[in-house]
Structure 1
């Protein structure tokens, strides 16, 4: 694909995606609330914009990767928001993990500007973004997805079309809730085993060898056993995502008792001061209060 892509939000994830796009030969403009984060990208060939509107101006595809609904509104809306910079025929892609309600609201506003829209949140963290191994969960029109597929393929190893706008986001919230439930359970069970006299390292080794663990849960267990809580998926973001899925469940009259329980556990971890640490730090609530290893 030729053309230009704007990336709004070049933090831990967005910066890595922008680098993958630059390496793929695309023209890339970037915007970040904290300008310091754009310096390295500028040296690699990105055009740095001072507002989201400027970044989006003339771009064929505009991708946002920010923290939450409020941050999404900040980069897309207002006089200097990216919506004002969209040109007719552009594609707006929201890759942040937001609420389905926010996604549908944003889609309507983008389409009112004559642009197409996809919600395309990603599964994966910093190592996957660095390696171009993110997995995209996409909601929206198949024809629009086909147009931006070359962009997504530069940053990801798989693209799953889930359904209509908002359904990619619903799937992402379900994925994150499933992971959070597993990690919360591992944290409490590791504490139980420790108090039962089982060597923690041995417990992690045995559990990791059994088919009951997903690969992601096995990685979280290794982090717990090693007391390595360097942030990949911080507790504060897990708490936010669980809150979002519970809000969406209320709207759709779905029951999520296990997600609610996980939300309470991660809320405790955040209140205890572990919000900036990797979600595996939830184990500290159950007896894993050893020192945190530096990243």
Structure 2
């Protein structure tokens, strides 16, 4: 039975943990500083909470944390694994830019840890539904096959560390960018009194987009705080000389505003829900 460790047990981390447990793996998790709710979620998924000293003994370790925590997690794990004699594979699965991914890899210089670049696309695994895909690059030895052997949909990219992160930036830029653009325009329409006409026009002339926004915007509220750093990573990925980077800096501001709204009175979310028929 393979030992697979996951650092982070949010909705995605715990969902993937459950999938691996169902696939016959022994799944460990490191939850220092996390909430009691996160601890219970991990245990319910069949994951075994333990310290870093046990995590470094796993066959493969997945980092599934908010983007802003990726470098810190890598540094902490690298320090714990520095003197380990047996090889271990660390897969960063976070929504970070290729440049940030290279900083993550640099944290392991001289450690002997094999670092892979991963990106997760799709929703957390749910019973009866197709789970997410884990894209992996920088893996010439096919170490990620261990994950595929325990139930994950692993897609190898024949490219170096940074290629999988670039894919995530591009996909998230399109997917979450559309959600952010729809949110911004709906709020502008509400302020201007054009909201009902805009919604009706979308229903009539762009029904696929209307359906995507009607489900995607309410689903975003609880995730907005995590998407702030992701939008900033996309802006950094595009680079300061690309004018489109400014759009994603703006998206970061939008999602920050929606996160603050959720922590306050939820007025903006209520306005959007009213327009989308989610009251």
Could you say whether these structures have the same fold, taking a TM-score greater than 0.5 normalized by the shorter chain as the test? yes
Q: 1:290, CA displacement in angstroms?
A: 3.5
Map 1:1-295 to 2 at 5 A. Answer: 2-32=1-31, 33-34=33-34, 36=36, 37-42=38-43, 45-49=46-50, 51=51, 53-69=52-68, 71-78=69-76, 82-84=80-82, 87-110=85-108, 112-126=110-124, 131=129, 133-143=131-141, 146-152=142-148, 154=150, 156-161=152-157, 163-188=159-184, 190=186, 195=194, 198=197, 200=199, 203-204=202-203, 206-209=205-208, 213=209, 218-224=211-217, 228-229=218-219, 231=221, 234-250=223-239, 255=242, 257-271=243-257, 273-274=259-260, 284=268, 288=272, 290=274
CA–CA distance in 2 between the matches of 1:155 and 1:275?
38
Q: Secondary structure at the match of 1:183?
A: helix
RMSD: 3.8
Q: 1:48 offset after TM fit, Å?
A: 1.6
Taking structure 2 as the reference length, the TM-score comes to 0.77
Q: Structure 1: which 5+ runs fail to align?
A: none
Q: Structure 2: which 5+ runs fail to align?
A: none
| Offset of residue 265 of structure 1 | 4.3
Q: CA deviation at 1:119?
A: 1.2
Instruction: State the 1:166 CA deviation.
Output: 1.6
Rounded Cα–Cα distance in structure 2 between residues aligned with 1:109 and 1:198: 53
CA contact under 8 A between 1:58 and 1:85: conserved in structure 2? no
Cα deviation, residue 94, structure 1: 0.7
Deviation at 1:5, TM superposition (A): 0.7
- For 1:132 and 1:197, the matched residues in 2 are separated by 35
Q: Report the Cα offset of residue 200 of structure 1.
A: 2.7
Give distance in 2, aligned partners of 1:14 and 1:167: 22
TM-score of the aligned structures, taking structure 1 as reference length: 0.74
